[in-house]
């Protein structure tokens, strides 16, 4: 046996888009960063389709996203993981958490919670109204997990030390929704574990989900991956480019120009002549020169007008 194989850390990264529409520039930015980080570390790069939130799925979006990744030369390892094919995994994680007596049914409506916050303050934090309810006495409920008084701490490769008092900030959170769908927070943790993900590279808009995910990982006996939260791309008004703000599908007519500009937005300072190279050559340059540190001071970036990837 190779003596170093035990100590050599493996790197398994992933890009996990939700198939709610075509890939837009902001998602391609995240995909590229996670790809470069994985390949720079000789790691695997997996693609997962986060399609557990079925009402938000758009027919055809998953295959459009995959085609776009390929058009930009972002080739993944292994077969695509679709969340919707692994519901049994979420069921068994839920059962394990239930056995720890940490779950309870929450029958609060959104309106009830808004009214409650209006009268008692507390903003978005769930105030624990249903904490003492029993499953067998309820129907039509969401499942919440009891948070405790511990502080969750983690180190983010770009954002640095992060600590959050989960109960004080978020309160107990939902892991299965009233419509019976598993919540993103539970699904992502189970999937990352099932896929053996060691490094998560994603947008900073998910930074405040991370402590919930580490809380769940710890309860389920999973080892938390390393995290890196990237700045997000915004429009001139400072709004995140997202499918919700109707950001357009990324323009695929000139992949080299788009990749070049995305490298600039990743603060990689590519040499000017690289813009005339083939996508594979640009990616190769990006992989060997990858150093995310210059992104440390940024939480959002606005692509300039006339950016090659915008229609």
Residue 169 as a binder of Zn ion (CB under 5 A): the answer is no
DSSP bridge pairs for 156: 160, 227
Task: Name the minimum Å distance from CB 79 to ligand GLU.
Answer: 18
Tell me which of 71, 117, 130, 287 binds Zn ion, using CB under 5 A.
130
Which one of residues 129, 194, 206, 249 is an interface residue with Zn ion (CB under 5 A)? 129
Instruction: Determine if 206 is a binding residue for ligand GLU (CB under 6 A).
Output: yes
Phi first, then psi, for residue 44 (nearest 5°) are -90, 150
**How many residues bind ligand GLU, per CB under 6 A?**
7
- As measured in angstroms, the least distance from the Cβ of 77 to ligand GLU is 17
**CB of 73 closer than 8 Å to CB of 32:** no
Residues 76-95 that bind ligand GLU (CB under 6 A): none
Rg (CA), the chain: 21
Report what 129 binds from ligand GLU, Zn ion, none; CB cut-off 5-8 Å by kind.
Zn ion
Which entry of ligand GLU, Zn ion, none binds 130, CB below 5 to 8 A by partner kind? Zn ion
- Residue 9: exposed, middle, or buried by beta-carbon count in 10 A (0-12, 13-18, 19+)? exposed
One residue of 18, 57, 195, 268 binding ligand GLU per CB under 6 A:
18
Task: Tell which one of 13, 17, 22, 43 touches ligand GLU (CB under 6 A).
Answer: 17
Q: Which is nearer to Zn ion, 144 or 229 (CB)?
A: 144
Tokens 């994680």: give the residue: 93
The residues in 271-310 that bind ligand GLU, with binding defined as CB under 6 A, are none
Residues in the chain: 311
Q: Which stretch binds Zn ion (CB under 5 A): 8-16, 83-91, 101-109, 251-259?
A: 101-109
| Interface map 19-58 toward ligand GLU (x if CB under 6 A) | -------------------------------x--------
Residue 102 touches which of Zn ion, ligand GLU, none (Cβ within 5-8 Å per kind)? none
**C-beta of 126: minimal distance to Zn ion in Å?**
7
By the rule CB under 6 A, 229 interacts with ligand GLU:
no
Residues that contact Zn ion, how many (by CB under 5 A): 4
Binding segment (CB under 6 A) for ligand GLU, from list 10-18, 112-120, 137-145, 288-296: 10-18
Tell me how far, at minimum, the Cβ of 108 lies from ligand GLU, in Å.
25
Residue found by looking up tokens 């776009």 in the block: 68
Query: Using CB under 5 A as the criterion, which residues of the chain lie in contact with Zn ion when the complex forms?
Result: 106, 108, 129-130
Query: Using CB under 6 A as the criterion, which residues of the chain lie in contact with ligand GLU when the complex forms?
Result: 16-18, 50, 188, 202, 206
């Amino acid at each position: 046996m190779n003596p170093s194989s035990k100590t050599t850390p493996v790197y398994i990264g992933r890009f996990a888009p939700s198939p709610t529409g075509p890939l837009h520039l902001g998602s391609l930015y995240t995909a590229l960063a996670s790809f470069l980080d994985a390949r720079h570390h000789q790691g695997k790069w997996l693609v997962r389709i986060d399609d557990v939130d079925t009402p938000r799925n758009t027919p055809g979006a998953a295959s459009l996203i995959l085609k776009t990744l390929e058009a930009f030369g972002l080739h993944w390892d292994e077969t695509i993981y679709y969340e919707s094919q692994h519901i049994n995994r979420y069921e068994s994680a839920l059962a394990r958490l239930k056995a720890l007596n940490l779950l309870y049914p929450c029958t609060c409506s959104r309106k009830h919670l808004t009214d409650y916050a209006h009268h008692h303050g507390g903003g978005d934090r769930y105030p624990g109204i249903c904490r003492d309810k029993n499953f067998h006495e309820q129907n039509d409920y969401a499942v919440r997990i009891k948070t405790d008084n511990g502080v969750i701490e983690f180190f983010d490769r770009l954002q640095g030390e992060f600590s959050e008092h989960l109960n004080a900030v978020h309160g107990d959170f939902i892991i299965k929704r009233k419509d019976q769908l598993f919540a993103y927070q539970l699904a992502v943790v189970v999937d990352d574990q099932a896929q053996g993900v060691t490094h998560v590279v994603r947008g900073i808009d998910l930074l405040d989900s991370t402590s919930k995910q580490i809380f769940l990982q710890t309860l389920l006996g999973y080892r938390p991956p390393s995290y890196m939260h990237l700045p997000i791309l915004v429009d001139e008004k400072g709004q995140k480019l997202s499918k919700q703000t109707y950001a357009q599908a990324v323009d695929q007519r000139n992949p080299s120009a788009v990749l070049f500009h995305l490298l600039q937005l990743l603060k990689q300072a590519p040499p000017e002549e690289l813009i005339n190279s083939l996508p594979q050559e640009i990616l190769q340059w990006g992989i060997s020169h990858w150093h995310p540190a210059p992104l440390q001071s940024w939480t959002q970036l606005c692509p300039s007008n006339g950016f090659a990837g915008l229609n």
